[in-house]
Amino acid sequence: MMEKLIFGRYIPGDSFVHRLDPRTKLLGAISFIVIIFLANNWLTYGVLALFTLLAIYLSGIDRNFFVNGVRPLIWLILFTVVLQVLFTGGETVYVDWGPLVISKEGLINGVYIFVRFILIIFMSTLLTLTTMPLSLTDAIEFLLRPFAAMKMPVHEIALMLSIALRFVPTLMDETEKIMNAQRARGIDFGQGNVFEQMKSIVPLLIPLFVSSFNRAEELATAMEARGYKGGEGRSRYRQLLWTQKDTLVMVSFGLLAVMLYILKA
Amino acid sequence: MDITFRDVGYTYQKGTPFESKALYDIQLSIKDGSYTAIVGHTGSGKSTILQHLNALRKPTEGSVQIGDRTITPTTDNKNLKGLRKKVGIVFQFPEAQLFEETVGKDIAFGPKNFGVGEAEAEAITKRILPLVGLDETFLDRSPFDLSGGQMRRVAIAGVLALEPEVLVLDEPTAGLDPQGRKDIMDVFYRLHKDQGLTIVLVTHQMDDVADYADHMIVLESGTVKKEGHPREIFQQAEWLESKQLGVPAAVKFANTIQKKFGWEFKQLPLTTDELAKEIAVFMKTHKQKGSKGRAEGDSL
């Protein structure tokens, strides 16, 4: 079930993209999502697609990974596209069923939205496939640092984030184990009516919560025993290192934005 | 109930870039009424095999015959409940599966899922509790107030309450103290001897294999490397050591004295009891032979 999910996983590697600073990749992915809304004609979408393909090429990761990453979301995307196509009016109308209209503008708009979705998913998949979750938290902590002045507990947020990320796979394993154990005791998950299905979740949820509480207590004890006293005065083991390459990548994102601004209709 | 694997292969995450093959061409059979031990290195596919025994996973190649049901890659996921009642699995650290408010309810949970009535489920619960060394005072307690060892017993009772024909145990004593380990292993052995329960034990404890099992399957990187009686397999101590599996303490000691004093045991002793008997027999025959044997005996 969850095995099929590619999105959010990390693939170790040593490519140009892998070696970039996580801050660059995070900022890049965020700014890409903003930049993409500048595009509004074929030329601009073409430029964005080329940029994305170049980034994927530089990561040295098999293209199939990205295609597989889109697969679970394809129905959502198609649903949005179909709605867009059916409800966009225009001058050249092909089909007219009262409120539902298929027009040239609608179709083009649908394709734009489709491409937009795909490119955003490709870019964010690229971010998670090439960046270790822990580096990503480091980047988030760094980028949030200005907010510390506004009394935001940046260190605590980053700590919680990195612990949460660290335990996602562990909890997934645990979920599967408990599911198996309860299935062996005669529970059918995902069968029967809504009420029965909700009831069958209880024997899964309670053990999961109980073990999370236990785990939290053990982890807190282990952290205290190793001298953790909070964020004050800690040094860091993983250092973020900004190099010329990172500047280059950020500049290229800037150029992309400028280019789209000029090319857009 | 016999369980037979024919050319079974299993691939995790088939059809994704993370595809990985866990089992190759597995041929094995677990005979009705046997006590089978499955041993192998971590990651050798033991747990994957275990989940095939009651169709929690379906093979991606080949077929698994469980009693009169055959599970193939295309078998429908429905109507497998009957199988799950016949093959009970005690997973590693089974205490993680407890969830009801009281011990009694938790043990009765399994039988009720298989359609056993309230009154009968209660009767089963009361019958099972002493088997795992708990008494009726535990019935109304919350499972989360118990000690780790007691929780383990309750979880095992919950599986035994299904009254399975085959009991599958995945390292049932991991993390228990020596007495707790012995108690629980003895419970299973009694069920095997008295009620003819078929047992499949997955373990790293070679001493448990020697003490209880009458059939042994050695797995390595997803295939069956050896299958047979523990006595035959433990003969090949060097082969086992090379697979980082090791032999029971009694076998190890027997091998050492065989090498050091040139003794030759009639049959390889598997347990400490057998070892003591063999040594006693050996000493006796040598005393009769005269001084040579005595000299060797002295130097022990």
The pLDDT tens digits of the residues spanning A65-80 come to 888 778 888 999 999 9
The pair of structure tokens assigned to B7 is 């050319």
Of B51, B85, B96, which has the smallest distance from its Cβ to A186's Cβ?
A: B85
Tokens at residue B287, please? 């005393």
Candidates B28, B24, B29; CA nearest to B9 is B24
Closest residue on chain B to A205 (Cα) = B99
Nearest to B95 by CA among B120, B132, B125: B132
pLDDT of residue B300: 46
Q: What is the pLDDT of residues A106-118, one digit of tens each?
A: 888 899 999 999 9
CB of A27 closer than 8 Å to CB of A140: no
Cα–Cα distance between B97 and B131 in angstroms, integer? 20
- The continuous run of DSSP H or E covering B117 comes out as none
Q: What is the pLDDT of residues B146-164, one digit of tens each?
A: 998 899 999 999 999 999 9
Q: In this predicted model, what pLDDT tens digit does every residue of B50-95 receive, in sequence order?
A: 999 989 999 999 999 998 889 999 988 777 888 899 999 999 999 9
Instruction: Work out the average pLDDT over B217-222.
Output: 92
The shortest CB-CB distance from B84 to any of A3, A183, A206 is to A183
Chain A residue whose CA is closest to B163: A185
For A64, the closest of B17, B88, B94 (CB atoms) is B17
Q: Which carries the bigger pLDDT value, residue A8 or residue A232?
A: A232
Chain B residues with CB-CB distance to A202 below 8 A: 99
| Partner residue facing A181 (CB), from B12, B78, B91 | B91
List the beta bridge partners of residue B223.
B220
- B137, pLDDT greater than 90: yes
Residues 6+ apart with CB under 8 A from A210: B98, B99, B144
Per DSSP, the residues of B34-103 read -EEEEEE-TTSSHHHHHHHTTTSS--SEEEEEETTEEE-TT--STT-HHHHHHEEEE-SSGGGG--SSSH
Mean of the per-residue pLDDT values for chain A? 87
A contacts of B81 (beta carbons < 8 Å): 186, 188
Mean pLDDT to the nearest integer, B207-234 = 92
B104 touches chain A (CB under 8 A): no
Residues of B in contact with A191 (CB under 8 A): 78
Residues contacting A118, CB < 8 A, separation 6+: A70, A77
Largest CA distance in chain A: 72
Chain B residues with CB-CB distance to A65 below 8 A: 17
| Angstrom distance (rounded) from CA B71 to CA B63 | 6
Indicate the average pLDDT of chain B: 88
What pLDDT score was predicted for residue A1?
A: 42
The total of other beta-carbon atoms located within 10 Å of residue B116's CB is 20
**Cβ contacts of B92 on chain A, cutoff 8 Å:** 177
Cα distances from A105 to residues A110, A159, B245, in angstroms, run 8, 48, 69
Of A128, A125, A155, A126, give the one whose Cα is nearest residue A140: A155
> Beta strands B215-220 and B35-40: pairing type?
parallel
Whole-number Å distance between alpha carbons of B187 and B212: 11
Residue A5 clears pLDDT 90, i.e. is over it: no
pLDDT at B1: 84
pLDDT digits (tens, 9 = 90+) for B176-197: 888 888 989 999 999 999 999 9
Query: What is the pLDDT averaged over residues A5-13?
Result: 68
**Which residues, in sequence order, are bridge partners of residue B228?**
B216
**Local confidence band at A227 (pLDDT 50, 70, 90 cut-offs):** very high
Q: Are B275 and B258 in contact (CB under 8 A)?
A: no
Better-predicted residue by pLDDT, B120 or B269: B120
Using DSSP, state whether B192 is helix, strand or coil: helix
Using the predicted structure, report yes or no on whether residue A38 has a pLDDT greater than 80: yes
CA geometry: angle at A151 spanning A148 and A157, to 5°? 65
List Cβ<8 Å contacts ≥24 apart for A242-249.
Answer: A242/A21, A242/A23, A242/A24, A243/A21, A245/A16, A245/A19, A245/A20, A246/A20, A246/A21, A246/A23, A246/A24, A249/A20, A249/A24, A249/A28
Alpha-carbon distance of B84 to B67, in angstroms, equals 12
Q: Do residue A203 and residue B158 have CB atoms under 8 angstroms apart?
A: no
Question: How many Å apart are CA B129 and CA B153, to the nearest integer?
Answer: 9
The pLDDT assigned to A7 comes to 54
* Residue B205 CB contacts under 8 Å (≥ 6 apart), including other chains: B173
Q: Quick one: how far is CA A88 from the chain centroid?
A: 29
Q: Helical H runs in chain B? A: 46-52, 81-86, 103-113, 118-131, 148-160, 178-195, 206-212, 230-235, 237-242, 249-261, 272-289, 291-299
pTM: predicted TM-score of the whole model, two decimal places: 0.79
pLDDT digits (tens, 9 = 90+) for A243-252: 999 999 999 9
Contact B73, B10 (CB under 8 A): no
The number of beta carbons lying within 10 Å of the beta carbon of residue B114 is 16
Predicted local distance difference test score (pLDDT) of residue A100: 77
Residue B290's pLDDT is what?
Answer: 53
User: Higher confidence at residue B107 or residue B68?
Assistant: B107
3-state secondary structure chain A: CHHHCCCCCCCCCCCCCCCCCHHHHHHHHHHHHHHHHHCCCHHHHHHHHHHHHHHHHHHCCCHHHHHHHHHHHHHHHHHHHHHHHHHCCCCCEEEEECCEEEEHHHHHHHHHHHHHHHHHHHHHHHHHHHCCHHHHHHHHHHHHHHHHHHCCCHHHHHHHHHHHHHHHHHHHHHHHHHHHHHHHCCCCCCCCCHHHHHHHHHHHHHHHHHHHHHHHHHHHHHHHHCCCCCCCCCCCCCCCCCCHHHHHHHHHHHHHHHHHHHHCC
Evaluate whether B223 touches B27 at the Cβ level (below 8 Å).
Answer: no
Write out chain A residues lying below 8 Å of B12, CB-based. Answer: 3
Contact between B27 and B6 under an 8 Å Cβ cutoff? The reply is yes
Q: Do B162 and A4 touch (CB under 8 A)?
A: no
Length of chain A: 265
pLDDT of amino acid A217: 95
Determine the average pLDDT of the residues in A148-170: 88
